[in-house]
A and B are shown apart, each in its own frame.
Chain A
Amino acid sequence: KAGVTQTPRYLIKTRGQQVTLSCSPISGHRSVSWYQQTPGQGLQFLFEYFSETQRNKGNFPGRFSGRQFSNSRSEMNVSTLELGDSALYLCASSTFDNTDTQYFGPGTRLTVL
């Protein structure tokens, strides 16, 4: 099976712009979670989607949003970018069969100038 794929892999934006990141989960996986990884804060949970519904959300401002499509693919959007949004954004998928195991994609490296 192909793993979790994320596009684009690298992105450079300027402050005030918005950005959309995409994640395709492993085939058959219905849960998609997003994490932000920075050197200072480590890996922090953004939100999780299952069957097109957001089931859980981390402590991030409303500028961070996401959605999931009927084919389980997910997108996250960050509006009004700030310098502090520069990070590696990771997507993880899971089958939701109570095994709790999440499999991560390679991430999208976002740089905000």
Chain B
Amino acid sequence: GENVEQHPSTLSVQEGDSAVIKCTYSDSASNYFPWYKQELGKGPQLIIDIRSNVGEKKDQRIAVTLNKTAKHFSLHITETQPEDSAVYFCAASKTSGTYKYIFGTGTRLKVLA
């Protein structure tokens, strides 16, 4: 069935270092890959997304890369700051006239000051 694996489950980095979170999806028909940040007591907030016709997308300190052949996509955060501490979720979906995200299991990122 449809599945998204996400690693690592926890990640601690020093402030200013980079953080990388990786996801692998199973459904080759998936063509949309959003990343969400969830802070305590809040709903997931979209931080960046990428479509299957693009290999990389960047927004300031955040970038996402996609390898369709390997069915891998990754989130890269550079120059991490304490406010980046949160749980990050990747997801995969396909444009099929309906919205159904398959989420990864989440990565708890801790940025140590």
Contacts and interface: CB of A to CB of B under 8 A. Distances in A.
A31 B43 contact: no
B34 A98 contact: no
A43 B89 contact: yes
B81 interface: no
Given A100-B32, A101-B34, A101-B49, A107 B99 contact: no
The prevalent SS among residues of B at the interface is loop
Interface string B45-59: 110010000000000
A56 B43 contact: no
Interface in B68-113: 89, 91, 93, 95, 97-106
Given A100-B93, A100-B95, A101-B34, A42 B103 contact: yes
A7 B34 CA distance: 26
B61 interface: no
Contacts of A42: 89, 103-106
A104 B45 CA distance: 7
Interface string A97-113: 01011111111000000
Contacts of B16: none
B95 A48 contact: no
Contact of A90 (B44, B93, B95, B97): B44
Given A101-B34, A104-B44, A104-B45, A56 B99 contact: yes
Contact of A106 (B36, B42, B91, B104): B42
A33 interface: yes
B43 A105 contact: yes
A35 B93 CA distance: 14
Nearest to A93: B99
Ordered nearest first, which 7 A-B pairs have the shortest CB separation?
A: A104-B43, A43-B103, A55-B98, A56-B98, A100-B32, A106-B43, A104-B44
Interface of B: 32, 34, 36, 41-46, 49, 89, 91, 93, 95, 97-106
Given A35-B101, A106-B41, 14 more contacts: A31-B99, A43-B101, A45-B102, A48-B98, A48-B100, A98-B95, A100-B32, A100-B95, A102-B99, A104-B44, A104-B45, A104-B46, A106-B43, A107-B43
